[in-house]
Amino acid sequence: MPVALVLTLAPVFGLAVNIAVQFVISRLPLAIGKVRRQFLSFGCGLAATALRLGPELYSAGFTLPDAIGCFALHLLAYAMAGFIFFNVINLNISSLRIRMLKEYLREHPQPLPDRVLREKYPARAMLDARLARLVSGGQVILRNGRYHIHPGLVAAIGHFFVFLQRFLLRK
Q: Kindly state whether residues 9 and 81 are assigned to the same domain.
A: yes
* pLDDT(108) > 70: no
**Number of independent structural domains in the chain:** 2
11 exposure class (CB count in 10 Å sphere: 0-12, 13-18, 19+)? buried
Percentage, residues of the chain above pLDDT 90: 33
| 76 and 119 within one domain | no
Mark whether 109 and 74 lie in a shared domain. Answer: no
Residues 127 and 76 in one domain: no
* pLDDT, average across residues 77-97: 83
Chain centre to alpha carbon of residue 29:
20
Q: What mean pLDDT do residues 138-163 have? A: 85
pTM beyond cutoff 0.75:
no
Q: Dump pLDDT digits (tens) for 20-35.
A: 999 999 888 877 777 7
Tell me the pLDDT tens digit for each residue of 37-52. 889 999 999 999 999 9
Do 119 and 141 lie in one domain? The reply is yes
Q: Sign of the C-alpha dihedral, residues 60, 62, 68, 71? A: negative
Q: Which of 37, 67, 89 is the last residue of a domain?
A: 89
pLDDT of residue 74: 95
